[in-house]
């Protein structure tokens, strides 16, 4: 590379990455230099894909990953959008113009070819090939372009795909990925849960909401195994907002008769994922449960196919400022500051730890208002008609769960985390 022999340098870096047992730090550095070689040859798309792979697959190698992310953050001439989606351009047998096979993958003989025969459409198609001499082959034909025109929008990627299988495990997977600044990944779907194995043409679809800070969009088709994957009639479009709204409203109506609302929503073609938040009043407190609901499109409309609980918590009203002030005054008068680890003589001592992530209405927040980093309190010394006594006899949230201290313990230990 120093002497200007870029092509041999590329071959050397590719060999280093492909060699089994290469330390990851060495492989990451080789990948980084490979991207620099590709830039010198004007292979901007290939270089961008290589830097993205370093940032994604070698994130633990901080120096190389940081340099790759810096390259990506300064990338200003990415193509504005996809091209040659119907494979009308190009020479049969070559990689279709506008598409590329990631350079590192070429070292194992994986490639893609433009075809004019055997296609679903009359214009042309492509074949992604993974040779039989590579047992764990993963061929990849892809595009990479600027996300500027698609930020904050919903996009739909479609393609017709079929598989010429060589072994039972051969399959095809279309994929779409959104790259955000500083190596962060946005939306990603590689159809791992719905691969194509059929020899007949199969219509594939991925619908994604593009992050508002997205920098690049990558998509492609992988051939996994020893077979050949045919791909034809690729399309990439912005989904009209009214269609997205229609899906969101249709699923929202399924929650209308419950105490559940949708706090987050993602539309992914035949599936939609909603974060459902339900609130049930339990006395003075609200029981809040969140779940991830997956909805699937059927002939009869959207049906719930998976419900995954995410969290259960309580919420309570914020304490009255005057009550907080009065309780704090009583605590400063009656509580005994903790001096290191010291024994507390009590039959039933309660421990309250104040943390910054406690929900509003937590009792620990009131206790912290006394300004004492740690203290013990003998509840028997607290008059029932005092501000502190009345507060101790009322239910409050402690460690996120409703409870009444005067009914649960005879001593209180407070700690400021």
Q: What's the pLDDT score for residue 343?
A: 64
Cα–Cα nearest to 29, from 11, 46, 17: 17
Does 369 score more than 90 pLDDT? yes
Which residues touch 88 (CB under 8 Å, ≥6 apart)? 123, 124
Averaged over 201-225, what is the pLDDT? 90
Categorize the per-residue pLDDT at 85 as very low, low, confident or very high, splitting at 50, 70 and 90: very high
Does 134 score more than 60 pLDDT? no
- What sign has the CA pseudo-torsion 18, 52, 78, 92? positive
Q: What's the pLDDT score for residue 179?
A: 83
- Determine what percent of the chain is predicted with pLDDT higher than 70: 90
Q: What's the pLDDT score for residue 68?
A: 85
Q: Residue 277 in 3-state DSSP?
A: strand
Q: What's the pLDDT score for residue 259?
A: 81
Q: ∠403-361-331 over CA atoms, to 5°?
A: 75
The residue with greater pLDDT, 341 or 128, is 128
Q: What's the pLDDT score for residue 340?
A: 62
Q: Count CA atoms within 13 Å of residue 392 on its CB side.
A: 27
> Lowest-confidence range among 1-10, 54-63, 357-366?
1-10
Does 151 score more than 80 pLDDT? yes
Q: What's the pLDDT score for residue 376?
A: 92
DSSP for 228-250 reads EEEEEEEEEEEPPHHHHHHHHHH
Which element (helix H / strand E) includes 92?
A: none
Q: What's the pLDDT score for residue 230?
A: 96
256-307 tens-digit pLDDT: 877 888 877 777 667 888 888 898 888 888 898 999 899 998 888 899 999 9
Does 119 score more than 90 pLDDT? yes
Q: What's the pLDDT score for residue 202?
A: 96
For all residues of the chain together, what is the average pLDDT?
86
The residue with greater pLDDT, 78 or 282, is 282
Q: What's the pLDDT score for residue 162?
A: 97
Categorize the per-residue pLDDT at 63 as very low, low, confident or very high, splitting at 50, 70 and 90: confident
Q: Residue 107 in 3-state DSSP?
A: helix
Torsion of CA 134, 32, 53, 78, to 10 degrees: -120
Does 84 score more than 80 pLDDT? yes
Does 42 score more than 90 pLDDT? no
**Which long-range CB contacts under 8 A does 54-63 form with residues at least 24 apart?**
54/28, 55/183, 56/183, 56/185, 58/24, 58/27, 58/28, 58/31, 59/183, 60/24, 61/24, 61/25, 61/28, 61/29
Averaged over 211-227, what is the pLDDT? 89
Which residues touch 410 (CB under 8 Å, ≥6 apart)? 346, 347, 348, 349, 378, 379, 380
Q: What's the pLDDT score for residue 65?
A: 84
Q: What's the pLDDT score for residue 78?
A: 63
The residue with greater pLDDT, 7 or 77, is 7
Q: What's the pLDDT score for residue 297?
A: 87
Distance CA 133, CA 78 (A): 35
How many residues appear in the chain? 417
**Most confident of the following: 13-17, 73-77, 106-110:** 13-17
Q: What's the pLDDT score for residue 344?
A: 62
302-328 tens-digit pLDDT: 999 999 998 888 888 888 999 999 999
Averaged over 378-399, what is the pLDDT? 94
Q: What's the pLDDT score for residue 173?
A: 95
Q: What's the pLDDT score for residue 20?
A: 84
Cα–Cα nearest to 145, from 234, 217, 38: 217
Q: Is the pTM of this model over 0.85?
A: no
Averaged over 201-207, what is the pLDDT? 92
Of the candidate CATH numbers 3.40.50.300, 3.30.1490.20, 2.60.120.260, 3.40.190.10, the domain formed by 103-238 belongs to 2.60.120.260
CATH topology classification for 241-315:
Nuclear Transport Factor 2; Chain: A, (3.10.450)
DSSP for 180-221 reads -GGG-EEEEE--TTS-B--SS-EEEEEEEEPPTT--EEEEEE
> Lowest-confidence range among 84-88, 94-98, 137-141, 284-288?
137-141
Does 146 score more than 70 pLDDT? yes
- Determine what percent of the chain is predicted with pLDDT higher than 90: 38
């Amino acid at each position: 590379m120093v002497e200007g022999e870029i092509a041999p340098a590329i071959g050397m870096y590719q060999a280093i990455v492909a060699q089994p047992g290469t330390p990851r730090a060495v492989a990451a550095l080789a990948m980084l230099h490979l991207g620099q070689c590709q830039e010198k040859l004007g292979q901007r798309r290939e270089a961008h894909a290589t830097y993205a792979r370093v940032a994604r697959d070698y994130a633990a190698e901080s120096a190389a990953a940081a340099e790759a992310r810096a390259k990506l953050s300064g990338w200003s001439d990415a193509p504005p959008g996809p091209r040659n989606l119907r494979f009308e351009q190009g020479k049969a047998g070559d990689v279709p113009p506008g598409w590329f096979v990631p350079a590192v993958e070429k070292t194992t003989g994986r490639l893609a070819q433009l075809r004019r025969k055997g296609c679903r459409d009359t214009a042309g198609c492509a074949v992604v090939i993974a040779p039989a001499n590579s047992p764990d082959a993963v061929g990849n034909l892809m595009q990479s372009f600027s996300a500027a025109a698609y930020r904050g929008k919903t996009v739909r990627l479609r393609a017709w795909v079929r598989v010429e299988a060589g072994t039972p495990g051969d399959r095809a997977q279309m994929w779409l990925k959104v790259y955000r600044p500083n190596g962060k990944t946005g939306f990603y779907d590689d159809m791992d849960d719905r691969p194509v194995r059929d020899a007949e043409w199969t219509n594939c679809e991925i619908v994604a909401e593009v992050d508002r800070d997205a920098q690049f969009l990558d998509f492609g088709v992988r051939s996994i195994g020893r077979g050949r994957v045919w791909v034809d009639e690729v399309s990439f479009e912005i989904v009209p907002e009214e269609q997205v709204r229609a899906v969101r409203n249709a699923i929202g109506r399924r929650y209308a008769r419950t105490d559940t609302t949708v706090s987050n929503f993602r539309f992914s073609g035949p599936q939609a994922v909603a974060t459902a938040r339900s609130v049930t009043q339990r006395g003075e407190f609200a029981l809040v449960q969140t779940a991830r609901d997956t909805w699937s499109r059927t002939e009869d409309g959207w049906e719930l196919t998976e419900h995954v609980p995410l969290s259960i918590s309580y919420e309570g009203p914020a304490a009255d400022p005057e009550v907080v002030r009065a309780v704090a005054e009583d605590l400063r008068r009656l509580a005994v500051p903790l001096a290191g680890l010291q024994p507390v003589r009590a039959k039933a001592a309660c421990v309250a730890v104040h943390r910054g992530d406690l929900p509003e209405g937590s009792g620990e927040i009131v206790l912290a208002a006394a300004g004492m980093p740690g203290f013990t309190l003998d509840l028997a010394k607290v008059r029932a008609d005092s501000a502190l006594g009345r507060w101790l006899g009322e239910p409050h949230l402690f460690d996120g769960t409703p409870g009444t201290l005067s009914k649960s313990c005879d001593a209180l230990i407070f700690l400021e985390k």
